[in-house]
Amino acid sequence: MNETQASEITASENKGRLLDMKSLDNPRAMKLYRRFDGIIILVLFMFLVLGIQIHFTLTAGDWDYWIDWRDRRWWPLVAPFSLLIFIGPFAYGLWARVRLPIAGTVITLLLCVVSWVSRYLNFYEFTHFPMSFVFPSTYIGLGILLDCTLLITRSLLVSAITGGALFGALVWPLNWSFMAASKVPVELNGMLLSVADLMGYQYIRTTTPEYLRIIEESTLRTFGGSVTPLTAVFSGLCGIVVYGLFLWIGARVNQLEIFSKRIV
Amino acid sequence: MKTLKMKRMGVSGVLAGLMLVLLAGEVLAHGERAQLASMRMRTVHWFDTKVEPLNVKVGDIVTVTGKLMTSEWWPKQMASIEDTVYLNIGVPGPTFLRLHSEVNGVPMVRSTAFPLGKVYEYKTVLRARVAGRYHVHPILNVKDSGSLVDKGTWLEVAESDSTAPFTNEVTTMLGDTIDLENYALGDVYGWHLVWLAIGIAYILYWLLRKELFIPRFIRVRAFGQDRANEIITKKDFVAGGVFFTLTLATILGGYLWAEHKYPITIPLQTGKVDVVPIEVPTGDLEVVVDSASYALAGRSLTMRVNVTNHGDSPIRISEFLTANIRFLNPNVTESEIYPGEEMVAKDGLSVSVDAVAPGQSVAVELVASDALWEQYRMTGIINDPDSRFAGLLFYYDDNGERFFQEVGGAILPAFF
């Protein structure tokens, strides 16, 4: 392609963009756009609901199904990783294309809603587990923080550093408000258990034996046993890397030719 | 004509469906037939399994007891039970509460390890929770090998006489009595509603506006990435700050509230416990397997063994147990069959020698033969990659005392 051809394409594209802008003053065009917006919302809703449910089930499933899996070390690492992998590309797309900082909130909100539906129908109604044993975690607050850092800083890089760190670090305190009760101590046959452990023992899971749980397995045991804050810091650092990486993947996907067609 | 043909097709379809339903066998569902025949023969020998009582109501106690022996012929291609194992119970989900479980007197809340060639006595105490008819199986979950299932026993659970909802009350170490069926659900619902409300408010702030996806897309394209931030208004910026602050404040507030409400908490507990095994009560009988063969046509396993009685009492072989199937010698009456017990071939074992006298050394032929070989898919042993068998041989002395030991070895198929 020579220089003359390139400038011709640019001129043509600029003309198209001016036409697009003019259409925003046209009530009939705006009416049409709103209808298309409705379709986009519907399609995005279906895709994100199914996508996040399948993705989260495959990557963090049991950690979120049972309260006796949500330990202080692995669950606060696994859950934000899983979510940031999914949120990253959508956050980039929605910001770069339409400047909407909503990907984190929408995805965590939909995950919460679909998890409640799944836990109620599949776990409570169909397989008889009590809701007090299988209630989902919430990540909505983390999604809002992620989106708001992008909105306030208007920078993907800064939001990846601050938002990614907050997303990873605050999983435990966000959920502690309704999870603390499950960590109250009980005694069974002379053995110390938390209420969550006891429920995991009493409510039988034939194919999920006790040893499958990964409870605080690692060698990060410094700082006087301060497991929760240490994990939060580590999870925050990893959140920055994971979110940054998947924002970059989102950027690469957005550069594909299919995303650069003119609308009008 | 066409309508008549369609009607006939419809009737045929309904009949075919009915046949499928009527001819379908019982769904046992815990894998008692599914696993490799050799695997069932050479991993764990379950015996004396008792489920009592067999008819209960919701809220009643059911006790499952029995014994097991870990096979010295454990397949090399399977992760061993000597590493990590968990005593479990095979029921359809939490239709029962497990109140207690133990092996050789050690509580089995956690996982353990079983050395091979030893005996373990287990007990599981259940409380019926959901009415129904259940096939109850003791199960050992072996890490990296999966579940090893004992035979099942059918159990009827009727509705409770009481109309009150089922409760599962325990007392915490802080002295509070709680019902695990709905423990702290008020907190869970309340906080989830708070977060849903904040999340929905944030989404609605962005969605309830005149220009959403396509108009914003047009503006961003027209402005270019350098100026695209201009479509974020000052109001958006302020809203972002408000939501950011509100979210952080709510997280902090929720955390402090929970710390105040539940000041004493502990991390999730885990670990392994040790179980002292029981030695196999072999008595004074020495058994050496000479050869074994499996007759495909006759559905029978024939063992030729050399036995020596080192004791001072005659010994009679009463039973051969393999893959949870009991082949009983009808000439020895001491063997007990428990209520509801399945997989028992009452006349399944023929022994060429009635009794082995004290000091006698004799060659004995044992033939374990029954349709259960076919029913429980044991005929598949000819397809196994490691054609060996193992099982328990039970025998009694003159005082009626029972002994047993494991026998095993190579097995050859007899095709004709």
> Torsions phi, psi of B69, nearest 5?
-125, 135
Q: Which residues, other chains included, contact A20 with Cβ-Cβ below 8 Å and sequence gap of 6+?
A: A262, A263, A264, B218, B221, B222
User: What pLDDT is attached to residue A256?
Assistant: 77
Residues comprising chain A, all counted: 264
Q: Residue A20: pLDDT above 90?
A: no
B residues 53-112 closer than 8 Å to A (CB): 84, 86, 88-100, 107, 109-111
A146 to chain B: nearest residue by CA?
A: B244
Q: B111: closest CA among B266, B269, B274?
A: B274
Q: B123: closest CA among B147, B153, B99?
A: B99
Q: Residue B276: pLDDT above 60?
A: yes
- Taking the C-alpha atoms of residue B134 and residue B123, their distance in angstroms, rounded to an integer, is 18
Span B292-330, pLDDT tens digits: 998 877 788 999 999 999 999 999 999 999 999 999 999
Kindly state whether B359 is in contact with chain A, defined as any CB-CB distance less than 8 angstroms.
no
C-alpha B250 chain-centroid distance: 43
Span B89-121, pLDDT tens digits: 999 999 999 999 999 999 999 999 999 999 999
- Residue B267 resides in a domain: no
The answer to whether the beta carbons of residues B396 and B318 sit under 8 Å apart is yes
User: In the numeric block, which tokens belong to residue A175?
Assistant: 């959920």
- DSSP result, B237-264: HHHHHHHHHHHHHHHHHHHHHHHHH---
How large is the average pLDDT for residues B126-133?
A: 97
| Co-location of B167 and B36 in the same domain | yes
User: In the numeric block, which tokens belong to residue B388?
Assistant: 């060996």
Kindly state whether B415 is in contact with chain A, defined as any CB-CB distance less than 8 angstroms.
no
- Residue B313 resides in a domain: yes
Q: Which has the higher per-residue pLDDT, A195 or A257?
A: A195
| Co-location of B131 and B63 in the same domain | yes
* Confidence class for position A1, pLDDT limits 50, 70, 90: very low
Kindly state whether A103 is in contact with chain B, defined as any CB-CB distance less than 8 angstroms.
no
- Taking the C-alpha atoms of residue A212 and residue B143, their distance in angstroms, rounded to an integer, is 8
Omega cis (within 30) before B53: yes
Strand partners, B344: B326
The answer to whether the beta carbons of residues A101 and A152 sit under 8 Å apart is no
For A31, B151, B295, B297, B299, the CA distances from B415, given in Å and listed in that order, are: 80, 29, 6, 7, 11
A residues 35-74 closer than 8 Å to B (CB): 36-37, 40-41, 68, 70-72
CA of A58, closest CA in chain B: separation in Å? Answer: 19
User: In the numeric block, which tokens belong to residue B80?
Assistant: 């061993």
- Taking the C-alpha atoms of residue B304 and residue B327, their distance in angstroms, rounded to an integer, is 16
Residues comprising chain B, all counted: 416
Give the predicted TM-score (pTM) of the model.
Answer: 0.89
- Residue B248 resides in a domain: yes
* Confidence class for position A2, pLDDT limits 50, 70, 90: very low
| Co-location of B167 and B93 in the same domain | yes
Other beta carbons less than 10 A from residue B25's beta carbon: 6
Rounding to the nearest 10 degrees, give the CA dihedral for residues A166, A172, A174, A178. 170
- Taking the C-alpha atoms of residue B415 and residue B382, their distance in angstroms, rounded to an integer, is 10
Strand partners, B56: B157
Chain B CB contacts of A101 under 8 Å are 206, 240
- Residue B196 resides in a domain: yes
Mutate to test the interface with A, among B148, B214, B242, B259 (most CBs of A within 10 A): B214
Nearest to A263 among B141, B217, B264 (CB): B217
Q: Do A185 and B185 touch (CB under 8 A)?
A: no
Instruction: Identify the domain containing residue B199 by its residue range.
Output: 2-17+183-261
Q: Residue B63: pLDDT above 60?
A: yes
| Co-location of B110 and B236 in the same domain | no
- Taking the C-alpha atoms of residue B374 and residue B385, their distance in angstroms, rounded to an integer, is 19
- Residue B268 resides in a domain: no
B residues 8-37 closer than 8 Å to A (CB): 30
User: In the numeric block, which tokens belong to residue B13?
Assistant: 């379809």
Strand partners, B100: B125
Q: Which residues, other chains included, contact B167 with Cβ-Cβ below 8 Å and sequence gap of 6+?
A: B179, B181
The answer to whether the beta carbons of residues A108 and A101 sit under 8 Å apart is no
- Taking the C-alpha atoms of residue B202 and residue A207, their distance in angstroms, rounded to an integer, is 40
Q: Look-up: residue for tokens 């539906």?
A: A117
Strand partners, B367: B302, B350
Span A47-76, pLDDT tens digits: 999 999 999 999 998 999 999 999 998 999
| Co-location of B96 and B144 in the same domain | yes
Q: Do B188 and A182 touch (CB under 8 A)?
A: no
| Co-location of B292 and B365 in the same domain | yes
Buried b (16+ CB within 10 A) or exposed e, B270-288: beeeebebeebeebbbebe
* Confidence class for position A115, pLDDT limits 50, 70, 90: very high
* Confidence class for position A264, pLDDT limits 50, 70, 90: very low
User: In the numeric block, which tokens belong to residue A69?
Assistant: 């899996």
Query: What CATH number does the domain containing B332 carry?
Result: 2.60.40.1580
A residues 140-199 closer than 8 Å to B (CB): 140-141, 143-145, 147-149, 151-152, 154, 170, 173-174, 176-199
Strands of the B106-107 sheet, one edge to the other: B44-52, B61-70, B119-128, B96-103, B106-107
Q: B229: closest CA among A22, A151, A162, A251?
A: A151
| Co-location of B71 and B190 in the same domain | no
Q: B153: closest CA among B264, B32, B289, B239?
A: B32
User: What pLDDT is attached to residue B30?
Assistant: 57
Q: Residue A189: pLDDT above 70?
A: yes
User: What pLDDT is attached to residue A233?
Assistant: 92
Q: Do A206 and B139 touch (CB under 8 A)?
A: yes
Average pLDDT score, chain A: 90
* Confidence class for position A261, pLDDT limits 50, 70, 90: low
Other beta carbons less than 10 A from residue A45's beta carbon: 12
In this structure, the strands spanning B153-158 and B55-57 are: parallel
User: What pLDDT is attached to residue B106?
Assistant: 96
Prediction ipTM score: 0.92
For B71, B140, B369, the CA distances from B46, given in Å and listed in that order, are: 10, 10, 20
In angstroms and rounded to an integer, the radius of gyration of the C-alpha atoms of chain A is 23
Nearest to B240 among A106, A148, A174 (CB): A148
- The last residue of a domain, from among B136, B171, B206: B171
- Residue B177 resides in a domain: no
Which of B26-35, B324-333, B362-371 is least confident?
Answer: B26-35
User: In the numeric block, which tokens belong to residue A195?
Assistant: 């209420």
| Co-location of B214 and B235 in the same domain | yes
Average pLDDT score, chain B: 91
Q: Which has the higher per-residue pLDDT, B246 or A8?
A: B246
Buried b (16+ CB within 10 A) or exposed e, A61-95: ebbbbbbbbbbbbbbbbbbbbbbbbbbbbbbbbbb
Q: Do A178 and B191 touch (CB under 8 A)?
A: yes
CA of A211, closest CA in chain B: separation in Å? Answer: 6
Q: Residue B152: pLDDT above 70?
A: yes
User: What pLDDT is attached to residue B31?
Assistant: 64
Q: What percent of chain A has pLDDT over 70?
A: 91
* Confidence class for position A258, pLDDT limits 50, 70, 90: low
How large is the average pLDDT for residues A131-152?
A: 97
Q: Do B203 and A185 touch (CB under 8 A)?
A: no
Three-state DSSP class for A205?
Answer: coil
- Taking the C-alpha atoms of residue A63 and residue A172, their distance in angstroms, rounded to an integer, is 13
Which helix (H) or strand (E) is A126 found in, with range?
none
- The last residue of a domain, from among B171, B192, B214: B171
User: What pLDDT is attached to residue B374?
Assistant: 84
Chain A CB contacts of B229 under 8 Å are 99, 154
- The last residue of a domain, from among B141, B171, B201: B171
Q: Residue A5: pLDDT above 80?
A: no
User: What pLDDT is attached to residue A225?
Assistant: 63
Number of folded domains that form chain B = 3
Query: What CATH number does the domain containing B106 carry?
Result: 2.60.120.570
Rounding to the nearest 10 degrees, give the CA dihedral for residues A226, A231, A232, A238. 150
Span B367-416, pLDDT tens digits: 999 988 888 888 777 777 888 999 999 999 999 999 999 999 999 988 77
C-alpha B72 chain-centroid distance: 22
B residues 230-289 closer than 8 Å to A (CB): 231-232, 236-237, 239-241, 243-244, 247-248, 250-252, 254-255, 257-259, 261-262, 264-270
The answer to whether the beta carbons of residues B221 and A17 sit under 8 Å apart is yes
Q: What percent of chain B has pLDDT over 90?
A: 76
- Taking the C-alpha atoms of residue B59 and residue B36, their distance in angstroms, rounded to an integer, is 37
User: In the numeric block, which tokens belong to residue B293?
Assistant: 């063969």
Which of B220-234, B317-331, B354-368 is least confident?
Answer: B220-234
- The 8 Å CB, 24+ separation contacts for A260-263 are A262/A13, A262/A16, A262/A17, A262/A20, A262/B221, A263/A20, A263/B214, A263/B217, A263/B218
Q: Residue A27: pLDDT above 80?
A: yes
| Co-location of B90 and B218 in the same domain | no
> Torsions phi, psi of B54, nearest 5?
-95, -10
| Co-location of B13 and B117 in the same domain | no
| Co-location of B164 and B42 in the same domain | yes
| Co-location of B61 and B101 in the same domain | yes
Q: Do B267 and A196 touch (CB under 8 A)?
A: no
